[in-house]
Structure 1
Amino acid sequence: MIRERKSENVPSSLLTTSQYDGEDVKAQLLEDQHEKCYICKRKLGTDFEIEHFKSKNNYPELRQEWTNLFLACGYCNKKKFSSFDDNLYPLDTNIEDEIEQRIDFSRNKASFTTVIDDVPHQNAVRMLHVFYNGKQKMRVIKEERFFDEAKQKMNRFLEKVNAFLMEPTPANRTLVAAELSIEQEMLGFKYWVIRDNHLEAEFKDEIVWNKH
């Protein structure tokens, strides 16, 4: 997860109808989120749903609130449901700075940690852990496929980072920089690969997604 941005122009269907999932809402969210799920940062394609940051079950009064609406993939939306309402709000939090996000290849797990000990940060860590590692000792099939996809994408990114570290040529730098574009996937994990390899100064212009 990383910080998100949202257009200040409220889609008209939220003001003139009782719907929260009008076509104009979907179109604006796709543009704002660069066609990615705001939680896992995967490209959405046709697999997207309107996700209420504060769930409809617990906060029905926010059902049509523009600042409460995001796009999520079907997997993340169903996993989140109404279980993680008290969470880090992605429009005003630099989530990539405050939650460390890594793939632990040796343990075959995703790792999420934070030094900030409050409810929203701890809930965000718990949510991400459940999404990537499951609630049980063994992942169910969807959880396993979800994690394997993340692992494969990060493996490819690490290959490019390692190539740059071994041979810091302009061509190798370009390959890494392209993977850090706001349109790309897995940016929260990629951010911590850059930090762990002390490359923040080298790629400082690429890792400022949505920050003010």
Structure 2
Amino acid sequence: MIRERKSEKVPSSLLTTSQYDGEDVKAQLLEDQHEKCYICERKLGTDFEIEHLKSQENYSKLQQDWSNLFLACGYCNRKKSSSFDDNLCPLDTNIEDEIEQRIDFSRNKASFTTAINDAPHQNTVRMLHVFYNGKQKMRVIKEQRFFDEAKQKMNRFLEKVNTFLMEPTSANRALVADELSIEQEMLGFKYWVIRDNHLETEFKDEIVWNKH
């Protein structure tokens, strides 16, 4: 997860109808989120649903609140449901700075940690842990496939970073930089690969994303 940015112009259907999932809402969110799920950052394609940061079940008055609406993939939307209403708001938090996001290849799990001990940070960490690692000792099939996809993508990114570290040519740098563009997937995880390898200065212009 990373910080998100939302258009200041509220889609007209939110103001003129009782719907929250109008075509104009979907179109604007696809543009704002660079066609990625705001939680897992995977490209959405046709698999997208309107996700309420604070659920309809518990916060019905926010059903049409523009600041409460995001696009998520079906997996993340159903997993989140009404179980994680007290999450960080990605519009006003640099999530990639405040939550460490890593793939622990040796332990075959995703790792999420934060030094900030308040409910929104801790709740978001718990949510991400459940999505990637499951609630039980063994992941169910969808959880395993979700994690395996993330692991494969991050392994490919690590190969490019390691190649650049061994041969810091402009061509190799460009391969890493391309992986860090705002349209790319898994930027929260990639951010911590860059930090762990002390490459923040080298790629400082690429890792700003939606920060102000």
TM-score by length of 2: 1.00
Specify the alignment match of 1:210 in structure 2: 210
Specify the alignment match of 2:82 in structure 1: 82
Could you tell me how far apart the structure 2 residues matched to 1:39 and 1:7 are? 18
Specify the alignment match of 1:28 in structure 2: 28
- Paired amino acid for 1:71: L
Could you tell me how far apart the structure 1 residues matched to 2:120 and 2:67 are? 17
Specify every segment of 5 or more residues in structure 1 that has no aligned partner in the other structure, as ranges: none
Could you tell me how far apart the structure 2 residues matched to 1:186 and 1:79 are? 18
Could you tell me how far apart the structure 2 residues matched to 1:155 and 1:149 are? 10
Render the CA deviation track for 1:114-151: whole Å, top value 9, x for unaligned.
Answer: 00000000000000000000000000000000000000
Specify every segment of 5 or more residues in structure 2 that has no aligned partner in the other structure, as ranges: none
Could you tell me how far apart the structure 2 residues matched to 1:209 and 1:53 are? 21
Could you tell me how far apart the structure 2 residues matched to 1:63 and 1:124 are? 21
Could you tell me how far apart the structure 2 residues matched to 1:60 and 1:86 are? 15
Specify the alignment match of 2:146 in structure 1: 146
**SS of residue in 1 equivalent to 2:122:** helix
TM-aligned CA deviation for residue 207 of structure 1: 0.1
Could you tell me how far apart the structure 1 residues matched to 2:63 and 2:92 are? 20
Could you tell me how far apart the structure 2 residues matched to 1:42 and 1:51 are? 15
Identity of aligned residues (%): 89
Could you tell me how far apart the structure 2 residues matched to 1:141 and 1:162 are? 31
**How many correspondences in the alignment?**
212
TM-aligned CA deviation for residue 193 of structure 1: 0.1
Counterparts of residues 150-169 of structure 1 (less than 5 Å)? 150-169=150-169
Could you tell me how far apart the structure 1 residues matched to 2:165 and 2:92 are? 33
TM-aligned CA deviation for residue 158 of structure 1: 0.2
- Paired amino acid for 1:107: R
**SS of residue in 1 equivalent to 2:192:** helix
TM-aligned CA deviation for residue 76 of structure 1: 0.1
The alignment yields a C-alpha RMSD, in angstroms, of 0.2
TM-aligned CA deviation for residue 211 of structure 1: 0.3
Runs of 4+ in 1 over 3 A off after TM superposition: none
**SS of residue in 1 equivalent to 2:50:** strand
Specify the alignment match of 2:190 in structure 1: 190
Specify the alignment match of 2:44 in structure 1: 44
Could you tell me how far apart the structure 2 residues matched to 1:117 and 1:67 are? 24
TM-aligned CA deviation for residue 93 of structure 1: 0.1
Specify the alignment match of 2:14 in structure 1: 14
TM-aligned CA deviation for residue 185 of structure 1: 0.1
- Paired amino acid for 2:141: I
Specify the alignment match of 1:110 in structure 2: 110
Could you tell me how far apart the structure 1 residues matched to 2:83 and 2:207 are? 30
**SS of residue in 1 equivalent to 2:153:** helix
Specify the alignment match of 2:179 in structure 1: 179
**SS of residue in 1 equivalent to 2:51:** strand
